[in-house]
Structure 1
Amino acid sequence: MLPNRRNFIITGQPGGRGASFNIDPALPWQGTRPRQGDHHKGTTPQVTGSELFLLKTWHGEAVLLLMSNSQNPAQSTRRSFLGTTTAAAAALGSAELVYGDHHKGKPLRFAQIGCGGKGSSDLNNTVSSGGKLIAMCDVDAGRASGHFNKYKDVPRYSDYREMLAKHKDEIDAVVVSTPDHVHAVAALAAMKLGKHVYVQKPLARTYGECMALLEATKKYKVVTQMGNQGHAGSGLKLWKKMMDDGAFGEVLELHSWSNRPIWPQGMTKYPAEAPVPKGLDWDSWVGPMEKRPFGKGFLPFAWRGWWDFGAGAMGDMACHNMDPAFWTCGLTLPTSIKAEASAPAGVAYPKWSVITFEFPATKACPKGVRMTWHDGGKRPKPPAGADPRLNMGGNGCLIVGSKMSAMGGSHAGTPRPIAVGSEFNKDAIAKESARWQDEHRKLRGTDHHREWVDAAKKGDINAPGSNFMYAAPMSAALALGAVALRFPGEELKWDDDDGKFINHDEANKWVTIDPRKGYDLKV
């Protein structure tokens, strides 16, 4: 038996301040299994102040089992971590500790667009999943300096179009980890070259961009994945099993919510013009959008709050938190949308919003269903049958059913029953909770990046769970919700066959974009 301590199975690559690794939920486990959602949603837990007990191999891959007596161990240094793991590898002899290119067979040759911020972990995760970095691009040399210095021999660019033109014959795939407004044009450029693509969430800012990527997926038959990593976790599998087993009964309503924005929103004017920082290619950063002067309020990270560049709180988190309801209910595009917001739209998203979507009938919801999104401090109330004092938390998803209601946390977090029937019954809830905990133990998640890399190597376009056939309609629904934010209090009715709002000509102006010269959405 393993010692009774806090356990992690980890794989990956040390870097930065301490050693960052991914929990691999697919590996066998004794005792309590770490799950997607643990330690920053199953991604990059800090391996610090820990004792190394075992290093073994699993399908030819080096795996470390770490145990810590502390819930929040103090950070260790890269040197101490490497010293410990190297000593353990030498002691065991039979296991080889390899960082990055540890998968047998030909690596997936990829180019990275966006190397700072989220792009940093996407790059690391693609390498550790069996990818080989051939070229990289970032418009901000300062933000990308970590990887630019780490991969000194890898060509780097500030314009992805130049990179793709020069290296199109040397790469198999492209990872797009840019601000939202560049997702579609960059991914489409790669797909037209026949390259597999991994694109951060949301897939794009507008309905038109999402549909272009969906059309390209069908036309070019490349392997695709959107970066909502919880979609590969065991939590989502449990949500799906609950639905397929009829545990909810009739689905009455759906909710998802987030504590975002954690960046400025609600601005009424653009920031004052300022000198462009050294190392920033501002023109390439603006990309397909109308060119405007640089201002200090646009980046880093703050771009999420501006209409031109981001997708707001919902665009940032709904691909994670709405995923369980969207997936299990088989939703596509809504028939109508109505939004409430802190203020009418200016140049930025509102400080808070509540957006209600009406979806048409599906197999899981034969009468159709209402989904409500909440952000900026707004939350749904506990449903009938739940403890009225229940803390709904900062991020989550809720499916309200006639037989049972369940709630889970961020990134398709593991659901837990919170109501059985319409009257609060603590014992019945406890019984259902125990039942579904047992079911969860039987399920295994996968690594989101590895799922895509392995599928790309095989050319299996259907293998990634969040491929664009699923991710494009979901992102498009969110994009239509963002349009409704421009017209709070008005019900917008959507005609999916014609791809437009049938009762609001002004809203139709925001359904897609007309990229500036040098960029296009032609499939």
Structure 2
Amino acid sequence: MSEKEKEVSTGGSSRRDFIKNSAVAAAGFMIVPRFVLGGKGFIAPSDKLMIAGVGAGGKGESDIAAFSKSPRAEIAYLCDVDDRRAAKSRERFPKAKYYKDWRELLDKEGKHIDAVSVSTPDHNHAIIAYHAMAMGKHVYVQKPLTHDIYEARMLTEAAKKFKVVTQMGNQGASNDGTRQLAEWYDAGLIGDVHTVYAWTNRPVWPQGIPWPATKSEVPKELDWDLWLGTAPQKDYVDKLVPFNWRGWWDYGTGALGDMGCHLVEAPFRVLGLQYAKDVQASVGTVYVDEFKQGRFPESCPPSSHITLTFPKTNKTKGDITVHWMDGGIQPERPEELGANERFGDDGNGTLFIGTKGKMMASTYSRDPLLLPTSRTKEVSAPQKYKRVPGQENGHYVQWVDACLAGYGKMEVSSPFEVAGPLTEALLMANLAVRGHELKGGSSLKLIWDNANMKVTNFEAANQFVKRQYRQGWNLTA
């Protein structure tokens, strides 16, 4: 064969030269910086966190939107049992593949997913999060972390076992306010704290009512069986979805679950709290007629006052008493607070009482103040805690960055090692609420054995530490 015949149609170059030159060109191409190829600020798909949002409506919608504000995050998958609730997120992220069943999502797309955001009703938080973690996926889970104490302990341990980055959705944990409170306390400005009050105007949904007697037709867009998930089988009733489930024990955790993680987070951080040792409660009741009190054990009470005792920490000199109040109940206004000054915000707040003074904050630990409020500007404390850029939205971006950095490489504000014990304390408070009901409205102090996760002096309350899942649903694989 002649040299001419050995040539190929590559502009007169031999095949060998063509391959050689192509390889050189390719090598040169590979070392061109990504920002040159994609423009300034370009982030390669391989450098993005591929997120699956389970629960795409309501709070899930705002969570997903917040993640998307990070240029390093991509909303790759959406999942919701209700097509109506998912509509806005699907419109906003048209490239995201959509599923109704989170199990199918993880099974089919698991190898493409880096992280999972869980924004479903409380009763399905743990099962979704645990299965994602077992697959090595980082997880962001809305507050409260779980529905049951046992689930909270399992997720806390799973974060370490599977070495994944975790964050609970109590965004106030990333605010400056909680860090400011901690700096004031560490500087000794209010002495040793022995008592904390946290209060809320919740519930703003029906509680203390009987389960509806009339079932309704399931909307065609809703998969009712998937919505129930771990909960007992029941007929669909009107107005339960998408909001009022919060007031029913099978699905929600009442006012404590809705606001406790926002209002009690600061005391946990400031005082180094972990697990409570005892709890007691008194609850409000309703009247079904002029003479008869209504007791509806399926529903959370309309109001409650709960007292938790936490053992001494390395930041306190003795036990700490934490009072939780909901349904509009509030503590007595501090005498140091002016008659026309606000006490918290919109019916919510947290008050620290120390041996040398007091301090308070609003929802999400906003607006931290020393009392009297004039003292806030008169004294100062050295800044010792790093601030999270972006405040509340920074809570989301922080998690995205930490996931990309890898397990143990970057601090997050509410990892499960912190969020787990916080959630357990709030759920233990709910044990006292439910125990109060079991005792026919009588007050009872529950003594807690933390190591064994059980109440030692009232066995009936332990049925709520770990509930029975509906057949076919299991927490672990």
TM-score category by the smaller chain? 0.7 to 0.9
Q: 2:349 aligns with which of 383, 396, 410?
A: 396
Match 2:397 to one of 450, 468, 483 = 450
Q: Whose strand proportion is higher, 1 or 2? A: 1
Question: Which TM-score applies when normalising by structure 1?
Answer: 0.76
Output aligned runs, 1:248-397, within 5 Å. 248-270=190-212, 272-343=214-285, 346-383=297-334, 385-387=336-338, 391-393=342-344, 394-397=347-350
- In the alignment, what sits opposite 1:411? 364
Output the CA distance in 2 between the equivalents of 1:192 and 1:104.
24
Say how many residue pairs are matched: 416
SS at match of 1:487: helix
Report the secondary structure of 1:143's partner residue: helix
Residue matched to 1:434: 378
Q: What is the match of residue 460 of structure 2?
A: 506
* 1:232 corresponds to which of 155, 158, 174: 174
Per-residue CA deviation, residues 188-219 of structure 1 (Å, 9 max, x unaligned), is 01000000000000001110110110111110
Letter in 2 for 1:399: F
Contact (CA 8 Å) 1:258, 1:375: kept in 2 or not?
yes
Q: Does 1:117 align with 2:58?
A: yes
**Contact persistence 2:281–2:304 (CA under 8 A):** yes
Question: Contact 2:127/2:476 (CA < 8 Å) preserved in 1?
Answer: no
Partners of 2:413 and 2:94 lie apart in 1 by 34
Q: Which residue of 1 aligns with 2:47?
A: 106
Compute the displacement of 1:332 (Å).
Answer: 1.1
Two-structure CA RMSD over aligned residues (Å)? 2.2
**CA displacement 1:50-107 (0-9 Å, x = unmatched):** xxxxxxxxxxxxxxxxxxxxxxxxxxxxxxxxxxxxxxxxxxxxx98x9xx8799711
Secondary structure of 1:485 counterpart: helix
Question: Is residue 447 of structure 2 the alignment partner of residue 521 of structure 1?
Answer: no
Take 1:302 and 1:432, find their aligned partners in 2: how far apart are those partners? 40
SS of 1:403's equivalent in the other structure is: coil
1:299 Cα deviation after fit: 1.2
Aligned partners of 2:77 and 2:166: how far apart in 1? 19
Residues 8-33 of structure 1: CA distance to partner in whole angstroms, max 9, x if unpaired?
Answer: xxxxxxxxxxxxxxxxxxxxxxxxxx
Q: CA deviation at 1:242?
A: 1.2
Greater Cα radius of gyration, structure 1 or 2:
2
Does 2:416 align with 1:468? Answer: yes
TM-score of the aligned structures, taking structure 2 as reference length: 0.83
The alpha-carbon deviation at position 280 of structure 1 amounts to 0.1
Distance 1:384 1:358, change over 3 A: farther
Return 5+ residue gaps in structure 2 as ranges: 1-38, 286-294, 437-442
Q: What is the correspondence of 1:169-180 to structure 2 with a 5 Å cutoff?
A: 169-180=111-122
The runs of 5 or more residues in structure 1 that have no matched partner are: 1-94, 420-428
CA–CA separation in structure 2 for the residues paired with 1:337 and 1:404: 26
Identity %: 37
- Closer, same or farther: CA 460–441 of 1 in aligned 2, 3 Å: closer
Amino acid at match of 1:151: F
1:226-278 CA deviation, whole Å, 9 max, x = no partner? 00111111111101101211222121200111111111111122452110011
Query: Partner of 2:132 in structure 1?
Result: 190
CA separation of 1:239 and 1:105: change in aligned 2, threshold 3 A: farther
For 1:195 and 1:366, how far apart are their aligned partners in 2?
Answer: 40
Q: C-alpha separation between the residues in 1 aligned to 2:385 and 2:135?
A: 41
Aligned mates of 1:204, 1:443 — CA distance in 2: 28
State the structure with bigger RCO (CA 8 A, min sep 6), 1 or 2: 2
Greater helix percent: which structure? Answer: 2
